[in-house]
Structure 1
């Protein structure tokens, strides 16, 4: 039977209920009109006006009831999301920060990594924050050393891509398998497949020792009851999400009794008995492994060597039953497959609603009013025409209010956008440009048409109201002709030109009365404060930090500009907030020529003259231009730390440098021929270098200065007979940090044995030590190990040996340098704001020092910094070059660029030491 469709009477919301609105209107009229209006019947013109206005209000009420998704959807059917909202995967995630974050990041980012163990070396021996040693659990099926080495290298590059400030990663190490067997008797259930049981048994035991981490899709996790906060906790992942609780630690000790429930839980196992373990073919009570090892219990080998026995249907299966099973057993497969790897929720469905288009209430009045399309324009009836126009003028006020309300609703996306609007009448601006060709758009006869600074009220013209022209001021301004048009053509052209004039008295006056500048700026600032608070940012703290940052000179406008820029970049700044730059892949800051670096400062071009006011046109701030200039992308975080990028953005550093450069050049216009090589020229060059290459500040992580150097490790046992003393020379940074860990983590008995045998053992490698006699100097600078009576110290063996890791340069995690000749950076207020900014944005365990360098200090510091910066990537790179000799082509190898990384680091350390010593620790 067909369903019967019928209309159901449903109570409308008050904003859409005509009867309710009219009742409210009449109550108001009767309360305030007194005896002036007594006829409330439908025949009264006043009642007709009330009816029409109430009907129009129901349309507005209907539109305000649209979903936010529909209101934000444009004519192209796409929802306006950019610079409106940050989706959960953009704003709830963060670049790897914790150990668990880095585990997720590696498992997702590098194929064939099943799990990860990370050690954090953080103690008082080194003067930096943290060093991480990563151990990779690589798919057991991969045994080729070259392939394993490639995976470790891939992991190393990936880790440095998301390295945090003051922290550094040693090259990851693949966990070394420790061969183990299991001796036990397993009885299978009836009809159980022995090969399947063995495979599942291998997987279960491996998962117990160190599980393979699985990834799940957003929808799957959501259906299982996880919240968005739990799902998005950690870095963005490309292949599905990893929940933190699933990151189990590696088991370094396993007893036979531990495996009984694991074996018994395998499908098809009826019983298990007599579990005995073998390590390196020797029976043991407990399997044991080091931090760099992984216990590898080989189930198939145990079965083939008749250690593990399978009993099926009362018979013991022979060892050669599964000859072809060996290759399949090597693969570490999980029973939980990732069926749905969708990493983000779907965007809500929406439909475009043409809210802005306005239909005048004058079109709905009865014919006898003469104000619709049939408006009286008969010159023979001047009184009637005047009366009709008088009524039209009265009603047009209501029309304008309603039309503006529709426009305000249609532009909610601009009202709550991170970007500042540039026009209060977007639909009129669109109409204005729609009839212009490309040349006309670039060569407008009007300056900045419809433009204003960040409007918060929106409006639209009423040119579509029937016969509105006679009511608009100066509507005859374009009533002139070249003499070739008919009166009708001239009238039509005049009306078109009037509408195309963005400064005609009607539209310009409308723009002026919509909102006063102070009200507008306060309202826009409040809206931006709301958006900041919605994203967990304190508006008051932002106000304090940006207090003296200048773009326009008007503090209210500058506040709006900076908050808008910050919100536009908040997604990336928030995600990467602790991230350092990637020294392995950052862009070059110096050109190369004939195998050498070009460390000369940038040349000054003519475009730098008169650049102070380049951000304004006809007194209107060019928000679009500054938005584009300050827009960050992920690649920027490859070249700079998030701290530097945020510092530049909120303090307007590049703008301060540009103003300094432009003002300095403009003051020298009369002496431009003699400007080259003068002090002011060189000062401007340095300011330009800071602006173009460093975003206004130079952040240097002291740990990176130590990375290319070599070290000496001295070990002593003070209370031993003859005071045992051992040395290790020319150790790399990675080696000495790993041995530092070994010394603190190893018990005294093991150290005694290893050192007496002439080595320290780390990750299967024996590092030779040399026994000797300790010098007569004091042992005060030696550090006692955590687990023994041994003490040790680490010194720099590179260079002239005057550099020590206890020097002033390494007292802080980071050094932040500025030139001291930019006036705006020398005020007490700037330094106060800078201190507050660093306190809020640096982790508590990252110490810092700010240096304001003079022109003379920068003269040597900048070249030293460039050499060192480039040395972290180039070192002694060789480039094949084709050369021709007669008819025969030969290949020779010549250096692309030759930089000694040790010398580069030592020079920069020396330069910094000199700078710090002159300040006597006062900064």
Structure 2
């Protein structure tokens, strides 16, 4: 039998206000005194100096408690506090609750917000593609494949859309379509694209009605009102709301700010549901609409039918139904059409027995006025929730309690008279020394209240938690404290550490900045359900504790940009974007997908630009010795200087590569760089070592060093170390990756697909059209490419982390192909005198850039040329992930650093090295 396990919970309110209760504090203090000094202290009356001091301390604690309990906006307020500063401290509702469009409703809101657009509907664009199931050379085309001996099949490309637009009357459709395209591509979803914009086709309905009006009715106004209401019934306009209106409707803040940021007020999803394309028109609905209009007395007769084709006007917007069946009471509307009033409709009005004529011009003026009034009512502003602005109260200010004691104690601002004995002065000074201990504790508490602003943010300038301010309003404090260096009160500066690792700060033992900062950042990130545990674990495993600073910077960067990467997590890049100089903004740019930004920040890549990822800074060089033996050496180099090279030569190329990766691992830590003496001892050179290095010049823990660069000046040598560190840091910052959306490389669908492109398309199929992968190589697929030779990217643990991260963060309907490609210069074998084999990353980088520039070409209607499309697909089809090498070992062999990449038959799998 199951039993219910009771769980204890942390109460929401854990503040019992005891810190504000002076009487309670005084009673508790006296109780402690009674317990500690019962036999020595018998006078607990108010005149006792010890009780007086205790009461002052209790009062100071209530002051501290009062400040702690101030509203958070007051705790983080600054002297020149303003709303803009609060927006820097906290994310407003408009920034953190909204998101770029994801759903169809989101896109409808975005386009309806454009002036001149009454309503829009997003529908899939039907693009059928045909596949010839030739196992040796499968072929895809936009037209049916004829005269073939192989089976054929077909599929529809997914992620392509058509936009049906209901324009306002007299709207400039050309300008509106241009703005819609620009807006869409600024907010395009990953692996999706907008193919065309069409005016929604109309199915015109002829209405014949005879209406009895009230005697005092204005027949022209009634006619205009009927026209207006029926048009709204056929194709309603969406109402917009102000922030106050939605709050009055009872909507919660997260519901109000759901979806994209608009310009002309808020649109709610419920109204979008009610304004879908109508599927039928009911005569009973028309009767209800007409009868509700003021001035209508009776409907004597009403009928409706589909409007016959207008053979005299071939440019008419009316499209006769093809499949929709209708009757006298219900007219069914063709799919993706909207009903409209046919110009052959008849409207007859009567007052009593007499017919009433309608002045059509006057009625048209009324109709225009009704439409203008309705449109003006929809002009709202999209407001943000007001950011509370705090009051700066000098929350960190602290005044010594010594000045609140009676003046006869001799420690007030006035001090003692010069006439009192030295003993009396000494006693007063002793009391000051005794009380400064309590003063200092209280001063530290008050000072740390000023740290709340930094602690609750991703502040990269924060270097430590604990600060120590001097109580500077004590008279003659310099006679009590003779070392002002114990006060280190700048939180943006780390503690000054002496050569022996110690510091003079009184609170050094409390400071564990990295641990505490990570804990608080984890807390702030958990408020957004974000976790960095896996990233932290893999970084510690790769580089040890030396990456604490990098982990903190990664979390800070992620937290500071969270409004962007959370709202844009499904956003693709804008392939139509131009720079200020009207050049394609596709390279060396932050114009990348929100998914790429998010993955980069989650993995510690602060720079997520699309840029060159191939470089020649890391090299493996081959040497043929006098005895014809071949050896290899690694170098870290640029065009001007060799910054480091391996200390020894290696028998195999893989040994040199492995040693280079170890060097890059230890090059993170400046403490691993040392100045070692030359054999003569007159000069020094820069060397990279492991932390286990000893002073032996032949130590095996020397990994790399500089040759032909020796220093006799200590300052020059240390400057060289900084130069090497900066260069290697720049190499590491060249981390990055490409995200290629396969759908964007879809050939222009007006043309056929030549066989030369089919040769490069990744299609795997047998003669029965059974596939070993997706038949459609374009829809909802992306190719993600990393430079596989870089330090972190060459490590299998980091690769596993990245691949798991990508699959977790990528929308579930998108299939990724992840490649770790390329090599450093000299890594691949080649015959003497022949050029080195082509580098996959170098080739892909070139073809991807050319494709993006071609895709950005407006004159080609933003379709990449066939040549650049083919070259990109061919480059992608030849990508091969590179892995580290392994060696065969017996199962019982212990895994050591030398054989950690061991391969065990029937156990090891490719990718586990």
TM-score bin (small chain)? 0.5 to 0.7
Q: Could you tell me which residue of structure 1 aligns to residue 479 of structure 2?
A: 470
Per-residue CA distance 1:412-437 (angstroms, 9 max, x = gap)? 22221232452xxxxxxxxxxxxxxx
Q: Does 2:52 match 1:52? A: no
SS of the counterpart of 1:81?
helix
Contact kept? 2:617, 2:636, Cα under 8 Å:
no
Could you tell me which of 27, 47, 64 is aligned with 1:43? 47
Does structure 2 conserve the Cα–Cα contact (< 8 Å) formed by 1:796 and 1:804?
A: no
CA deviation vs aligned residue, 1:302-351 (integer Å, no higher than 9, x gap): 6xx6x1122345543214x2323336636745758247535222223532
1:204 aligns with 2:229: yes
Paired with 1:339 and 1:671, the residues of 2 have a C-alpha distance of: 61
Equivalent residue in structure 2 for 1:460, among 458, 469, 479: 469
Whether the aligned pair in 2 keeps the contact of 1:14 and 1:21 (CA below 8 Å) is: yes
**Which deviates more, 858-867 or 359-368?**
858-867
The whole-number CA distance in structure 1 between the counterparts of 2:412 and 2:753 is: 91
1:118 and 2:103 correspond? no
Q: Are the aligned partners of 1:868 and 1:905 in contact in 2 as well (CA < 8 Å)?
A: yes
- 1:502 shift after superposition: 9.6
Task: Give 3-state SS (helix, strand or coil) of 2:58's partner.
Answer: helix
Provide the C-alpha distance between the structure 2 equivalents of 1:106 and 1:875, rounded to a whole number of angstroms.
Answer: 22
Q: Structure 1 residue 363: deviation in Å? A: 1.1
Tell me if the contact between 1:524 and 1:560 (Cα under 8 Å) persists in the aligned partners.
yes
Name the residue aligned to 2:341: 297
Preserved CA contact (<8 Å) 2:554 2:606: no
Instruction: State the match for 2:139 in structure 1.
Output: none
Q: Which residue of 2 is the match for residue 582 of structure 1?
A: 574
Cα distance in 2 for partners of 1:341, 1:308 equals 39
2:525 equivalent among 515, 529, 532: 532
Which residue pairs with 2:360 in the alignment? 322
Q: 1:129 to 1:710 in 2, by over 3 A?
A: closer
What does residue 824 of structure 1 align with? 792
Mapped to 2, the partners of 1:691 and 1:141 lie a distance apart of 58
Distance 2:59 2:327 in 1: 90
Aligned counterpart, 1:359: 399
Q: Which residue of 1 aligns with 2:878?
A: 914
Output the CA distance in 1 between the equivalents of 2:22 and 2:215.
77
Structure-to-structure mapping, 1:851-862, within 5 angstroms: 851-855=819-823, 856-862=839-845
The one of 293, 298, 302 equivalent to 1:266 is 293
With over 3 angstroms needed to count, the CA separation of the structure-2 counterparts of 1:315 and 1:106, relative to structure 1, is: same
Task: Measure how far apart 1:459 and its partner are.
Answer: 4.1
* Equivalent residue, structure 2, for 1:766: none
- Corresponding residue to 2:387 among 324, 332, 347: 347
Which of 837, 840, 858 is the matching residue for 2:808? 840
Shift of residue 266 of structure 1? 2.8
Residues 420, 372 of structure 1: alpha-carbon distance in 2 compared, 3 angstrom cutoff: farther
Contact 1:129 1:813 (8 Å CA) reproduced: no
Are 1:568 and 2:572 counterparts? no
Match for residue 245 of structure 1?
270
In structure 2, relative to structure 1, the CA distance for the partners of 1:659 and 1:849 (3 Å cut) is: closer
Contact 2:161 / 2:196 at 8 angstroms: preserved in 1?
Answer: no
Q: Find the aligned partners of 1:103 and 1:276 in 2 and give their Cα distance.
A: 34
- Following the alignment from structure 2 to structure 1, what is the Cα–Cα distance between the partners of residues 355 and 336? 38
Write out per-residue CA displacement over residues 493-547 of structure 1, whole angstroms, 9 at most, x where no aligned residue. xxxxxxx999799xx96745155343x4333222222212222324546656766
Contact 1:127/1:812, CA 8 A, preserved across alignment:
no
Per the alignment, residue 401 of structure 1 pairs with 441
1:363-762 matches, within 5 Å, as 363-376=403-416, 381-420=421-460, 422=462, 453=463, 455-474=464-483, 511=505, 513=507, 516-518=510-512, 520-538=513-531, 540=533, 543=536, 554-585=546-577, 636=590, 639-653=591-605, 667=635, 672=640, 696-706=736-746, 709-711=747-749, 731=750
Q: Which range moved further: 203-212 or 902-911?
A: 203-212
In 1, are the aligned partners of 2:108 and 2:120 still within 8 Å (CA)? yes
Tell me the CA shift for residue 378 of structure 1. Answer: 5.4
Residue 273 of structure 1 deviates from its aligned partner by: 4.3
Q: 1:804 to 1:560 in 2, by over 3 A?
A: closer
Distance change in 2, residues 1:916/1:208 (3 Å): farther
Larger relative helix fraction: 1
1:96 maps to 101
Residue number among 13, 20, 26 corresponding to 1:16 in the alignment? 20
Q: Could you tell me how far apart the structure 1 residues matched to 2:762 and 2:789 are? A: 31
Change (3 A) 1:811 1:691: farther
Residue deviations 1:74-115, cap 9 Å, x none?
A: 11132543453222222222110011111011112x211111
Match in the other structure for 1:32: 36
- Determine if the alignment matches structure 1 residue 194 to structure 2 residue 219: yes
Q: Is the 8 A contact 2:212 2:298 kept in 1?
A: yes
Shift of 1:225: 1.1
1:186-232 C-alpha deviation (Å, 9 max, x unpaired) = 23345333333333322322222221112111111101111112211
SS in 2 for 1:274: strand
> Residue 137 of structure 1 corresponds to which residue in structure 2?
166
Structure 1 distance, partners of 2:575, 2:58, is 66
Picking from 56, 64, 69, the partner of 1:65 is 69
For residue 237 of structure 1, report the CA deviation from its aligned partner. Answer: 1.6
Contact 1:152 1:174 in 2 (8 A): no
Change (3 A) 1:39 1:900: closer
> How has the CA–CA distance of structure 1 residues 420 and 62 changed in structure 2, closer, same or farther, with 3 Å as cutoff?
same
Distance 1:910 1:369, change over 3 A: same
Report the counterpart of residue 608 of structure 1 in structure 2.
none
Q: Secondary structure at the match of 1:323?
A: helix
CA distance in 2, matches of 1:909, 1:357: 66
Report how far residue 279 of structure 1 moved.
Answer: 3.5
Q: Using a 3 Å threshold, how does the CA distance of structure 1 residues 43 and 663 change in structure 2: closer, same or farther?
A: farther
**Is the 8 Å Cα contact of residues 141 and 332 (structure 1) preserved in structure 2?**
no
* 1:848-898, Cα deviation, whole Å (9 max, x unpaired): 1111222412232222111101001126589xxxxxxxxxxxxxxxxxxx9
Cα distance change, pair 395–343 in 1 and its aligned pair in 2 (3 A): same
Give the superposition deviation at 1:392.
1.0
Residue 555 of structure 1 and its aligned partner are, at CA, apart by: 4.5
Q: In structure 1, what is the Cα distance between the partners aligned to 2:840 and 2:863? A: 23
Greater Cα shift, 658-667 or 384-393: 658-667
Name the TM-score, length of structure 1 as normaliser.
Answer: 0.67
Residue equivalent to 1:761: none
Say what the alpha-carbon RMSD is for the aligned residues.
Answer: 4.4
> CA shift at 1:140, angstroms?
2.8
Matched, 1:160 2:185: yes
Q: 1:202 to 1:875 in 2, by over 3 A?
A: closer
For 1:820 and 1:542, the matched residues in 2 are separated by 19
Change (3 A) 1:136 1:542: farther
Secondary structure, counterpart of 1:583 in structure 2: coil
* Alpha-carbon distance, 1:406 to partner: 1.4
Between the two proteins, the alignment pairs up a number of residues equal to 694
| Cα deviation code 1:671-691 (max 9, x no counterpart) | 94799xxx99xx99xx99x98
The verdict on how the C-alpha distance between 1:658 and 1:918 changes in structure 2, with shifts beyond 3 A counting, is closer
Equivalent residues of 1:105, 1:235 under 8 A apart: yes
Q: 1:26 aligns to what SS in structure 2?
A: helix
